[in-house]
Chain A
Amino acid sequence: MKQLDEIIQGYITNGGSAQALEDTSGNTVSYPELGSALNSYTEQIKTKLPAGKKSIIAVISERNIQLPALLYAVICSGNAYVPIDHRFPAERVSAILDEARPNAVIIQDKYREAFEGLCGTAAESIALNEIHTLLIFDREPATIPDDTAYILYTSGSTGVPKGVIHTQHSVLSFLQWCSDAIACGQGSRFISISPLQFDLSVFDMYFFLFRAGTLLLLTEAELANHRMLAKIIFEHKVNCIYATPSLFQLLCNGGKLQQYDFGHVSHILLAGEPLYWTLLHEMKPYFTNANCYNLYGPTETNVCCYYEVKFEEEALNPVAVPIGKPCGDTRIHLEVYDDPAMPELWIASATLMYGYVAAEASFRYLDGIKYYNTGDLVKTGGAGNLVFCGRRDRMIKKNGFRVEPAEIERYIKELPGVLQAVAVPAPINNTVKLVIFIQSGKAYSLLDIKQYCLQKLPYYMVPDDVVMVDELPVNLNNKTDVQQLIEKYVK
Chain B
Amino acid sequence: MKKAELKDAVRNYVADGVFNGSMPAEFNDDMKLVSTRLMDSIVTLNMVNHFEELLGIELQAHEVNVDNLDSVNLITGFLAEKAGITE
Contacts and interface: CB of A to CB of B under 8 A. Distances in A.
Interface in A404-444: 431
Interface in B40-65: 40-42, 44-46, 48-49, 59, 61-62, 64-65
Chain B contact residues: over half helix, strand or loop, or mixed? loop
A225 B20 contact: no
Nearest to B34: A224
Contacts of B25: 445
A355 B41 CA distance: 34
Given A227-B59, A447-B26, A459 B40 contact: yes
A394 interface: no
Chain A residues touching B, range: 20 to 34
Given A224-B41, A445-B24, A464-B20, A230 B36 contact: no
A459 B34 CA distance: 12
A253 B45 contact: yes
Interface in B1-37: 19-20, 22, 24-27, 36-37
Interface residues of B, number: 24
B58 to A, nearest CB: 8
Nearest to A463: B20
A396 to B, nearest CB: 16
Given A226-B41, A447-B26, A454-B36, A253 B49 contact: yes
A85 interface: no
A254 B46 contact: yes
Contact of B24 (A224, A225, A447): A447
Contact of A225 (B19, B38, B41, B46): B41
A347 to B, nearest CB: 31
A108 B40 CA distance: 24
A480 B27 CA distance: 33
A462 interface: yes
Contact of A254 (B24, B38, B49, B66): B49
A231 B61 contact: yes
A308 interface: no
Given A447-B24, A447-B26, A459-B37, A228 B62 contact: yes
Contacts of A226: 41, 45
7 contacts: A227-B45, A227-B64, A228-B61, A228-B64, A250-B45, A256-B61, A459-B37
Given A445-B26, A450-B38, 5 more contacts: A221-B66, A226-B41, A227-B64, A253-B49, A431-B42
